[in-house]
Chain A
Amino acid sequence: MKKIHIYILAVTLAFSACKLDNLEKPAAGLSGKFIDAQTNELVQQDIIRGTQIELKEHGYDPVSSQFLVVKTDGTYENSMLFANTYTIQPVRGNFIAVEPQEFKISPGSTLDFKVVPYIRIREASITKTGNKIVATFKIQQNIISNVKKIGLYAHVDSRVGEPMRQAATERELNAVTDANQVYTLEIDLPSNSAVLKPGNQYYFRIGALIDASEAKLNYAPAVRITI
């Protein structure tokens, strides 16, 4: 009898000690766009090694930063954040640095960043001419610095860019550019036949990199071409 009592006591204690995970899952979220302050167009990005948004949650010290990546089209979204006030700053971007701001994240919050991209790629055109993919474009710089390099990148995925490519043609410029000059880059198809197979579709994208600390490339939108 006494033993049973002890068992009952032990079992009661054991069960009361166990509760399923009682933390609420993150219910808030943040989404938005990187918008060119002058043209109101989205600022194209890289998904790998691209611009990131640094989030520092308030109420913890020290706090580990969270980093959100940005989609190639210049939009971003994280729908699994804890509702709280955060200090938010886009970092290591392809635009003139943006100051950090405090922002209260709640379910469905949106926050757009008006930015000035380092470089605008204008009048971009990518076409297949004979056995070549030919890109022509002009470069408008928005800061006084050298343009390090320009490139034409190819990948089977639409998120093509400098860090994500199967073939590329790059040219080192290391000079300040003239906004009226037309640049031409070509990818020769036969000499890349192992990766760019005839009859398949690939995405091609023009990029340019400014010579600034931790700068990322600026891009024109990717173009799909059947080769």
Chain B
Amino acid sequence: MKNQKIFILMVLMPFLLSSCQKVLDLKPTDKLQPEQLFSDPEGVKVYMANLYYQLPIEDFTFFRQGVNFNGGDPNNGGFAPAMVTDEAMHTEFGDFIGNDDFKWWEQGYKLIREVNLMIDVIPTLAINEAEKKALIGESAFIRAYAYFSLAKRYGGVPLIKGSQPYGSPESLKVPRSTEKETWDFVLQECDVAIENLGTEKGRRANKFTAYALKSRAALHAASLAKFGSRAPLTGDAVTKKLVGLDAATAAGYYDACIKASQAVIASGQYSLFRPNPANPAEAAENYRLLFENPNSAPEEAIFVKGYALPGTSLGHNYDIWYQPAQLANGWPHPGRMNPTLDLVDTYESYDAPGKSAPIVTTSDGITGDYNGYSPTKNYIRYDSPNAIFANKDARLWGTAVLPGTLWKNTPIIIQAGYVKPNGEAVIRVKDQITIGNNTFHTYGAASVTQYSGFDTYGGNNTRTGFSFKKFLNQQKPVVAGWNQSTTDFMEFRYAEVLLNYAEAVVESGTGDAVLAAKVLNDIRKRAAHTTNEPLTVENVQRERRVELSFENKRFWDLIRRREFHTEFNNRSMHTLLPLQDLRALPATKYIFVRVVVPNTNPRTFEPKTYYRYIPGIGTNGLVQNPQY
């Protein structure tokens, strides 16, 4: 009996084994195969949508932890990249740039691998030539975008120009190309995209999106070449030219930026949104609208990333983190983006256009005194907590919620304290005083739900004296939950292309200086300026700072122009304290005091931070960036 069983087993064995021969060729039944996905044009669309999603767009979901940081647990405490620049401070955190911040390596090569796969299958797809051409263009745009994001972080990187067939692990290791080769590849891919893409406007890349990318990337490369010597680095990566560009290459990159920007300008397809406002108030409202809903400005928006589904990774968190504390609507930690006095100072005044107009608080006109309130100083008294900003550039009013202004039909109260009739000041302390029949509160109101400034309660009140407005939704109350905001983000807009053009012309001394001055002033005119300013390096940079503030451009401007280590050398940001001056009673008067942002330490940028570290060099064998 037992023998018989063994016999049967022996007979069956060859059959059993032979039937297993193709076990490794079995297809999973729960996953789509590439052929299946790509054989259907709808499948291609789905795949492409995913590639677009992975683009490293530095929008509302771009944080120190990376891009698209809103899936899973999106709680980052409301820390935004603007807070490591001179644009803003967080209400509580004083963090600066850490080694692991703003990296984009694994996700970068994942996107590149997937777009390479797309590029491979395009010729095999059953679609017409025009559609193929569009896909070739879009793939090149995505690849250019990905390598641009790598190059600005890491310098020269391994250029994977096609799908890598799996062989030995060694064959998959590609050494870093030089930084120049990497930038040249980015521009070359932009050219492929420009050549193949059409001009149709929509959410997908078109010819002008590719030109806009080229304009931005070429300007970045040109600046590195021109200003690299401001922060020289040494080490293996430098000797092998894996980081750094020769100064001589600047001219070529500026020229590429000029040509690409000019192509967008000359096309006549785009223009500034509401370019001729009647007055500053209208200009401020136009500017605010442009960001609250970019879809209302198709003439200016070149490339928009949409947010559509609240509560998913297609929603973001700007409204919960950054609406002023008074309008938190149940959210526990609002008000966390605090625009700095340093940024506010930068905006021009209509009284003296053509230069930054620092906020003057004392009759002697000194703006560099941060020693705090003193009863002996002669402060200028204003009738309201925002009268001091009356003649400042409309874009300040469209970007920040200023003390005592209306937002969502609510007066936003930002007050740091008061000066008692005896000249003694009570600042950043919760207190009250009754004079006659009136009671005055240091923070401008009695209860913590009634004001938005300076009280450290919950880390919810601005500590710079300014709350945030740009991009925020004024129409809807805050929904106290994750990913509830659906404001779209303009990744490329016409004004940036104009500013790129102006910068490339003024830095290189080539191109059409008359046109460059005109476009610079067109942007100012849109902000209700009535006089022109000349095309100078300083004017272009100031205009960039104010026009593009909080669009996550400032960080890279400081990087590419090698200004971070000089701008942030033991640097503290500043606050404007609005105080009610009770010495003026019965009149209601306010004075302002310039101070260092309370509870912060000065910050210093280390030159090695101009490049991120290359991860995993033990395995991938790549040369590490300097000083890591």
Contacts and interface: CB of A to CB of B under 8 A. Distances in A.
Interface of A: 48-49, 62, 64-65, 67, 91-92, 162-165, 168, 191-194, 213-214
A53 to B, nearest CB: 13
A99 to B, nearest CB: 14
Interface stretch (B134-142, B537-545, B616-624): B616-624
9 contacts: A49-B604, A62-B617, A62-B621, A64-B617, A64-B624, A92-B627, A162-B569, A191-B371, A194-B372
B232 A213 contact: yes
Contacts of B93: none
Contacts of A192: 371
Contact of A214 (B234, B372, B628): B234
Contacts of B234: 91-92, 213-214
A169 to B, nearest CB: 13
A191 B628 CA distance: 40
A214 B232 contact: yes
B99 interface: no
B606 interface: yes
Given A65-B624, A164-B570, A193-B371, 13 more contacts: A49-B604, A64-B618, A64-B628, A65-B628, A92-B627, A162-B569, A163-B569, A191-B369, A194-B595, A213-B232, A214-B232, A214-B234, A214-B607
Contacts of A92: 234, 627
Nearest to A62: B617
Contacts of A163: 569-570, 604
A213 B234 CA distance: 8
B618 A62 contact: yes
Contacts of A67: 627
B606 A194 contact: no
Contacts of B372: 194
B44 to A, nearest CB: 41
Interface in B582-628: 595-596, 604, 606-607, 617-618, 621, 624, 627-628
Nearest to A163: B604
B53 interface: no
A194 B617 contact: no
A49 B624 contact: no
Contact of A49 (B233, B606, B617): B606
A194 B371 contact: yes
A192 B628 CA distance: 37
A123 to B, nearest CB: 27
B233 A214 contact: yes
A10 B216 CA distance: 63
Nearest to B622: A62
A193 B376 CA distance: 14
B605 to A, nearest CB: 9
Closest 3 CB pairs of A and B: A194-B371, A213-B232, A193-B371
Contacts of B618: 62, 64
Nearest to A63: B618
A162 B596 CA distance: 19
A194 B570 contact: no
Contacts of A168: 570
